[in-house]
Amino acid sequence: MKNKKQGSAQWLSLIFLIVLGVVWITPLLYGLMSSFKSNLEMQSVGFKFLPINWLFTNYTRLLQNTSNTPVFRWFLNSIVISGGSTILVLVVTSLSAFAFSRLRFRGRNVLFMFLLSTMMFPPVMNIIPLYKIMTTLGWANTPWAMIFPAATGVFNIFLIRQFMDNIPIAYDEAARIDGASDWQIFRIVILPLIKPVLFVVALFTFTGSWNDFLWPSIVFSDINKMPITPGLKLLQGMYVADIPTLMAGAIIAIIPTFILYLVAQKYFLQSMSLSVGVKG
């Protein structure tokens, strides 16, 4: 009786998911298919899902453009910025989390609570002065303008510390008896054990930096230096009458995070439960 009831619920669920799933994926697939159409086909054929003639020229034209919309350049800039941010965030936050989790010092909890409390200030309030600081340092239009602000985040420290707190302190003590220093405990004992959470932090930092829109569109005015996310805004202005090319630009921009997701889906999904296990 119960199994039968459960079975029917599962079938209803499946039908619901298929319908909504189709709705969900259609915009993306339609955009993808349109990126292979010619502009003429787009404008004359009306509704047709698949291209009549599969063209790759929209992509090649965009990637070869080096003047007003250097998409390939933007792509490389984004790789440098997101990669740099990820490395800095990993180094800086894991060190800090180690101190908060494992080292004893005066004011530890006060400092940690202070850092956490700053999370309630929305980033809109510091964007104007941050711009001034970046131009003063001469870092506007350089990757540093995005890499350093990325490493200010407190939530990553929070996550890593939480993860570290679950590692038995006995591990440290065993190493300490063998004469290990703090640094050795961090490098040899802790670091290998926190790899899962570091991987999660890395994925989120990379995609977060890749997708950041407001800040880079303010701090990058040089068309050759900007990353691809604000670049797409320029592309939209430039190709307002050439939708297939515009679609190709958007598809190029989402490829890296899409691939990351395919490779590391488990970690993306796990991270959400990590952050909620903490807050919930």
Partner 1 sequence: MVDISSKSGNVSTNRKKTWHLHGKSFPILYLLPHLIVFTIFFLIPLIFGIYIAFTKWDLVRTPVFVGWDNFKTLLFSHSIFHDQLTSGLWHTILFVLISVPFCILVPLLLAVVLNTKPIFAKFFQGLFYLPSLFSISAVVIVWSLIFNPNYGPLNTLFHLDQVWTGTQPWAWMTIVILTVWWTIGGNMIIYQAALNGIPQDYYEAADIDGASRWKKFIHITLPSIRGQLLFTIVTTTIAQFNIYGQPLMMTNGGPNGSTTVLMMNVQQNAFGSGQSLAGISSAMAVILGICITIVSMVQLFLLRNKD
DSSP structure string for 157-189: HHHHHHHHHTS-HHHHHHHHHTT--HHHIIIII
Looking from the CA of 164 toward its CB, the CA atoms found within 13 Å total 25
The residues, ordered by sequence, that sit 6+ positions from 146 with a Cβ below 8 Å of its Cβ are 81, 85, 209, 212, 215, 216, 219, 227
- By C-beta, is 91 or 169 nearer to partner 1? 91
3-state SS class at 205: helix
The least CB distance from residue 238 to partner 1, in Å, is: 12
Name the residue nearer to partner 1 (CB basis): 57 or 221: 221
Contact between residue 237 and residue 179 where contact means Cβ atoms under 8 Å apart: no
Q: How far is the CB of 173 from partner 1 (least distance, A)?
A: 13
Here the tokens at position 44 are 């004359």
CB of 227 to partner 1, least distance (A): 10
* Closest by CA position to 32, among listed 234, 227, 253, 256: 253
In angstroms, give the least distance from the CB of 244 to partner 1: 9
Q: Are 223 and 206 in contact (CB under 8 A)?
A: no
- Can you spell out the DSSP letters for 81-107? HHHHHHHHHHHHHHHHHHHHHH---TT
Least distance to partner 1, CB of residue 56, Å: 19
CB of 195 to partner 1, least distance (A): 19
Give least dist CB 194 to partner 1, A: 14
Give the C-alpha separation, 162 to 235, whole Å.
42
